Amino acid sequence: MMLLLRLSGVLSILAVLLVIPSFVSAAPKKIAVLHILAEDNESALYANMAYNSLNEFVMQEGFDSSVAIAESRRKKMNYYEMIDLLSRAGADTVFSGEIRKTKTEVIFRFFAFDLKENHAGKIYAKYEASADLTGVTPYSVNMICREHVIRFLERYSKEKNFSKLPDYYVEKEAAVLADSSFSNSSRIILFSPLISTFSPIYVPYEYASSKNYKGLSLYLINSVPYQAATYITAWRMISPFGKRDRKASSSEKLFMYYNLALGGIPHYLALASDTSLSRMKNFGSRDELIGNRYCEAFFMLTGGGSAHFFKGHHAWGYFYYHTDMLLTIAAICSIKGERFYFIDSFDKKDKTKIFIALAGVRIVEAVHAFCSDYNILNGEETSSPLPYLFMNEETLEGGMSLKF
């Protein structure tokens, strides 16, 4: 009997020793209070979609979450009263946001702040962006809300690591960019000289017909000097009236051929990306050209900012366009040793320096384009004044918003 008691005592001690470490090592439960606020029914729909995505990622990280989706009525509250209210509710981390629909766009605002340190609300992340969702399908709206939530959590993750956060850019690339088909790219490459030749007619017509006056203005301002040089040269070569004037120099003729064959490609790609990327940013249909890796490699070789226009970075595209054009003119003048309109011929001793500069710019341009992402992210990030705190009148939940 004593042996059995001693054996049972040993087993009890072992059971206690096994259970105690599990309580000691167990991580405290993390609590997140989530708020996505809206002022009207349409904004409330977006808010619900955004909350579903936010809650999905927060729960994956081991948080226990609760939500309050408020509509229209708000009551301002003292900051310390709000912190005390949330702390007594057991909140450690608060994810808060607001979605507001205006006449022309939807504004997304998200905040994350921590209550663990002396019950003080330390803001870890602030994210604000605006997007035009006119004519966007419900599926696309859901994906857009998810994208903005992930971009907000990625910013929060810089302070507090979210280990299971997906790469939203890779996801969107797979959803909207064109397939890298060699057959499709071969047609573009084969007909690129023809596209370049007719771009001075096609590009402004498309800009004007779609009422994209900003794109039309940029095209005219940036292309007119080179197009004028090309057509004046052609006039002097073909027209009997032009032949009476000064004959076109060999430098001017060579630049005319270059500009007709390749100079119009950057402007065509600027138009194509303007048309396609706005649709792709809103998770529209997959494009047939933008994103094709074979075309991207070809446009890196042609230069003139083509690859940057192809990826939707117009400012860099125009920078490289003008740099390439001016260095190409200098290289042509150094080869032919003849005058190019208002530019005197270069000394042939400078030929090597000019070609090294042109090759260097082309290499930097290609590497820069290769390292750049496609401009397919939805909306534009904005900023506003500091937030104020509020409470919905019908619940005891709190959150944050911004004063307009």
What is the maximum span of the chain, computed from C-alpha positions, in angstroms?
129
DSSP-assigned letter for residue 311:
T
pLDDT digits (tens, 9 = 90+) for 57-97: 877 777 766 655 444 334 444 445 555 666 666 667 777 77
Which has more pLDDT, 356 or 336?
A: 356
Q: What is the pLDDT of residue 3?
A: 33
Concatenated DSSP letters for 347-359? PGGGHHHHHHHHH
Using 50, 70 and 90 to split pLDDT, how confident is the model at 24?
very low
pLDDT digits (tens, 9 = 90+) for 212-234: 999 999 999 999 999 988 888 88
Statement to judge: residues 102 and 122 lie in one domain:
yes
Helix or strand (DSSP H, E) at 247: none
pLDDT digits (tens, 9 = 90+) for 144-184: 888 888 888 887 777 666 667 777 788 888 888 888 877 77
Q: What is the pLDDT of residue 209?
A: 92
Contact (Cβ atoms closer than 8 angstroms) between residue 108 and residue 127: yes
Tell me, what CATH number does 122's domain have?
3.30.160.100
Statement to judge: residues 343 and 396 lie in one domain:
no
Among the ranges 90-94, 238-242, 306-310, 335-339, which has the highest mean pLDDT value?
306-310
Q: What is the pLDDT of residue 332?
A: 85
Using 50, 70 and 90 to split pLDDT, how confident is the model at 352?
confident
Count the residues in the chain: 404
Q: State the residue for tokens 């019908």.
A: 394
Statement to judge: residues 75 and 215 lie in one domain:
no
Statement to judge: residues 217 and 361 lie in one domain:
yes
Adjacent-strand bridge partners of 110: 97, 127
C-alpha dist (Å) from residue 187 to 267, 291, 377: 18, 15, 28
Q: Domain count of the chain?
A: 2
The 3-state DSSP class for residue 260 equals helix
Using 50, 70 and 90 to split pLDDT, how confident is the model at 126?
confident
Contact (Cβ atoms closer than 8 angstroms) between residue 51 and residue 380: no
Strands 380-381 and 122-131 come out as: antiparallel
Q: Supply φ then ψ for residue 163, to 5 degrees.
A: -70, -25
Token code pair at residue 325: 């054009």
Statement to judge: residues 280 and 367 lie in one domain:
yes
Which has more pLDDT, 88 or 34?
A: 34
Q: What is the pLDDT of residue 241?
A: 64
Using 50, 70 and 90 to split pLDDT, how confident is the model at 310?
very high
Is 168 inside any structural domain?
yes
pLDDT at 19 over 50: no
Which has more pLDDT, 316 or 5?
A: 316
Q: What is the pLDDT of residue 151?
A: 86
Statement to judge: residues 62 and 158 lie in one domain:
yes
Adjacent-strand bridge partners of 390: 76, 399
Closest CA to 263 of 222, 294, 211, 292: 222
Statement to judge: residues 316 and 184 lie in one domain:
yes
Statement to judge: residues 320 and 387 lie in one domain:
no
Statement to judge: residues 334 and 245 lie in one domain:
yes
| Average pLDDT for 365-384 | 82
Q: What is the pLDDT of residue 216?
A: 92
pLDDT digits (tens, 9 = 90+) for 42-51: 777 788 888 8
The rounded distance, in Å, linking the Cα atoms of 332 and 355 is 10
Mean pLDDT of the chain: 75
pLDDT at 328 over 80: yes
Is 19 inside any structural domain?
no
351-371 vs 293-302: helix crossing angle, rounded to 10 = 160
Domain ranges, residue 106: 30-175+382-402
pLDDT at 143 over 50: yes
Please give the share of the chain, as a percent, with pLDDT higher than 70.
71
Q: What is the pLDDT of residue 179?
A: 82
Statement to judge: residues 209 and 160 lie in one domain:
no
pLDDT digits (tens, 9 = 90+) for 176-193: 888 887 777 888 889 999
Contact (Cβ atoms closer than 8 angstroms) between residue 270 and residue 222: no
